[in-house]
Amino acid sequence: MSICNLYHEGELAIQQRANVTEMAQMNGRMVNKTIPAGALRFIELQPMAVISSIDPKGQVWASILFGQPGFIRALNDHTLEIDLSQPRTAKDDPLWNNLIENPGVGLLIIELSSRRRLRINGQVRSVSAERLIVDIERAYPNCPKYIQRRQWKMSINKEPLKIPISTQGVELNETQKNLIANADTFFVTSAHPHHGLDASHRGGHPGFVHLIKDQQLRIPDFSGNSMFNTLGNFSSYPYAGLIFIDFEHGRLLQLTGRTEILWDLDDTHEETGGTQRYWQFDISAWQECSLPFHIDWELLDYSPYIPKKVHGPSSNNMLSHTIK
């Protein structure tokens, strides 16, 4: 895949601004039009996948699909099948209507316990009410940086929950603000009008996501693979979806809104790891629901790559979370 076809104008502009064009070209060699052979089995072992979609108003949403391992599987190196017959996410998740209008998706298949992740971009086509097919356009593995290791276990002594129904709103409540302020992990989705959608991971010490105002978040942007897929999309299309997992209480909080990239800010506490780069997120709307399964999560350790902890509660009190 040539560099001209690999990156769009937004990604190229951010790479140039960050002075990483050469590194981006080098790392871009990992991008393929098919799933790497070593990832085919990896996909089938996962109980969750982050998926991006865009609604008819142009808002970007992040969703998470859940299921017993095997609910997502590779039919071959350029096609995925998603089984929708078991509880997966809320009935009224924006994803389902969004796919009718725009079948483009970005997928992040991530194994928190091993810090392995695979990014996939493609087009969804419906085969039946219980089966989706994703035709792969590009796929590549990501480095393990900034992922907190968590071990999951679905509770075998409990019946699966019914497919949940969401609540919606515009202004965050105090519980939601507290979840965001104490989060060490979230997922972000972004889009380009002509180059598709993307799903990505963000991690840091609890408190790394700042509530600047009631409806505004500010997130430090650490150094990564230099490809700038997310910020490149922001540069071209400044809308995003965020999703937070409440690992303790078994809930999902989805946010949609508008982004702004902030360069060369004063970073006295070095919370950006030296980049002096942040991005801002103004919340337009939220949606919240319970998880469709009882899952026990155990936090094993934090990523050693995260810049030093400056804000947030002590991590010693957060080493084990159980979804009830």
Per-residue pLDDT at 293: 79
- As a whole-number percent, the residues of the chain with pLDDT over 70 amount to 91
Q: Are 291 and 324 in contact (CB under 8 A)?
A: no
CATH number of the domain at 3-322, please? 2.30.110.10
Mean pLDDT of 230-240: 98
The pLDDT value given to residue 86:
79
Name the nearest CA neighbour of 251 among 324, 189, 201. Answer: 324
pLDDT at 320: 32
Q: 201, 108 in Cβ contact below 8 A?
A: yes
Measured distance CA(288)–CA(131) in Å, rounded: 25
Work out whether the CA dihedral 216, 166, 198, 304 comes out positive or negative: positive
Confidence of residue 161 (pLDDT cuts 50, 70, 90): low
pLDDT at 87 over 50: yes
Judged against a pLDDT cut of 60, whether residue 239 lies above it is answered with yes
Give residue-wise pLDDT tens across range 114-158. 999 999 999 999 878 889 999 999 999 988 999 999 999 876 555
pLDDT per position as a tens digit, 264-309:
999 988 999 999 999 999 999 999 999 887 888 999 999 999 997 5
Predicted pLDDT at 158: 55
Residue ranges per domain, the chain?
3-322
C-alpha span between 66 and 82 (Å, rounded):
10
Residues 13-24: what's their mean pLDDT?
97
Backbone φ/ψ region at 9: left (φ over 0), alpha (ψ -120 to 50), beta: alpha
